[in-house]
């Protein structure tokens, strides 16, 4: 029996990837590392420090900085990112998400958030969606990033529901893996070749159908 639907944020509820890209691009340029939108795809769902490692690797600079310097670089990127996300408004909610959440709530099912982003509360505030969530996992308290199931299990625990009675919604491959490892039903939003491990894949959020998902989940 379905008890909760747990959402990823970036790429599912809103598209912050472009802002992450711009902020990382600025830092990469300072470090003399070429960084493209295609490279940015690899950072989706990945934590801030792990993202920095990927960028340093692109420039063969993993060894060039101490842990302390890396913390500083990641902080610098985040200051830039926080500046960019000030522009977020409810118009930035991806198509189909508002009616989808409405249907979930009307069915008496809980709504949770499992975002790797430490900026999730600020983003949800900009979108005016803070009140829609029964529980938001705090990325600061999560030790293991996706594909580890920790963040989805943490959300289920705090929503007081059984993970097997949950559906997770994700746009990243590592995110879908995290949902499956949490023994939840996975809905992927994106391309089939990236998200093939999910139980259902939709090409875009506008196609999310509560009725269809419930039907397949209940089988
Ligand atoms: P922050 P999600 C993830 O969010 C993003 O996809 C990823 O690109 C980002 O690096 C990560 O959050 C950490 O974000 O630097 O704001 O803590 O997709 O899990 O909602
Ligand atoms: Mg995501």
Angle, alpha carbons 147-121-73 (nearest 5°): 65
Distance CA 8, CA 25 (A): 23
The pLDDT tens digits for 82-92 are 999 999 999 99
CB 8 less than 6 A from any atom of ligand 1: yes
Establish whether 8 is an annotated binding residue. yes
Between 26 and 17, where is the model more confident? Answer: 26
First to last CA, the chain: 10
pLDDT of residue 161: 98
Q: Please check the confidence at residue 180 and state whether its pLDDT lies above 90.
A: yes
Average per-residue pLDDT in the chain? 96
Structure confidence by residue, pLDDT tens digits, 116-174 = 999 999 999 999 999 999 999 999 999 999 999 999 999 999 999 999 999 999 999 99
Residue nearest to atom 16 of ligand 1 (CA): 117
Q: How large is the ipTM?
A: 0.91
Nearest-CA residue for ligand 1 atom 12 is 117
Residue from 41, 69, 68 nearest 54 by CA: 41
Cα–ligand 1 centroid distance for 2 (angstroms): 27
Question: Is the per-residue pLDDT at 44 higher than 90?
Answer: no
């Amino acid at each position: 029996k379905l008890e909760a639907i747990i959402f990823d944020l970036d790429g599912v509820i809103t598209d912050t990837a472009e802002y992450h890209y711009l902020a990382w691009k600025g830092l990469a340029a300072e470090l003399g590392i070429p960084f493209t939108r295609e490279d940015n795809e690899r950072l989706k769902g990945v934590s801030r420090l792990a993202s920095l490692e990927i960028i340093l690797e692109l420039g063969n600079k993993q060894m060039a900085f101490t842990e302390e310097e890396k913390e500083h670089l990641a902080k610098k990127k985040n200051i830039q990112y926080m500046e960019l996300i000030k522009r977020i408004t409810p118009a930035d909610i991806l198509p189909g998400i508002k009616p989808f959440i409405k249907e979930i709530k009307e069915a008496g099912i809980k709504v949770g958030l499992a975002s790797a982003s430490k900026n999730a509360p600020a983003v949800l505030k900009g979108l005016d969606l803070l009140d829609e969530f029964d529980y938001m996992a705090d990325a600061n308290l999560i030790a293991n990033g996706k594909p580890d199931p920790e963040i989805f299990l943490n959300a289920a625990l705090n929503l007081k529901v059984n993970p097997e009675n949950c559906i997770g919604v994700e746009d990243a491959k590592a995110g879908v893996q995290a949902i499956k490892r949490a023994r939840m039903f996975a809905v992927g939003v994106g391309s089939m070749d990236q998200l093939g491990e999910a139980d259902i894949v939709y090409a875009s959020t506008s196609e999310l159908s509560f009725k269809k998902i419930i039907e397949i989940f209940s089988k």
